[in-house]
Copies of this chain bind each other. A is one copy, B any other.
Amino acid sequence: MDNRYVQQFKKGSLEMVLLCLIAKKETYGYEILTCLNENGGGIWGYAKEGTIYPILYRLQEAGLVVSRLAPSAANGGTKKYYSITEKGLQTLQELTTFWVDYSRCVDGFISQWKESLQ
């Protein structure tokens, strides 16, 4: 599968996926990065730093998440932990509801095509 399509499919849903992960538990960029690459790495085409960190900044600017610095870790640099806000939870609820309608609509177009083959 051409990587171009992977990239475009991601747009819009990646932000929702990050919100899901942060809503599930407080986490930080590097953990999100490795999580995405372990869960469906092939499907996501492997997420990169330059993709994840800017999204985290945008989510914070939008007031959907807040961050705190972990003073020092046993190994590695300082971590910036993100957790979801009330506003973030509300947005995530709206996003996932819309995603269900949206993906169902796309599935409908695919079904119509496949039915026309018979």
Contacts and interface: CB of A to CB of B under 8 A. Distances in A.
A41 B16 CA distance: 22
A50 interface: no
Contact residues of A: prevailing secondary structure? helix
B17 A12 contact: no
Number of copies: 2
Band of interface residues on A: 35 or more
B40 A105 contact: yes
A109 B17 contact: yes
Nearest to A101: B43
Interface in A9-29: 9-13, 15-17, 20-21, 23-25
B112 A20 contact: yes
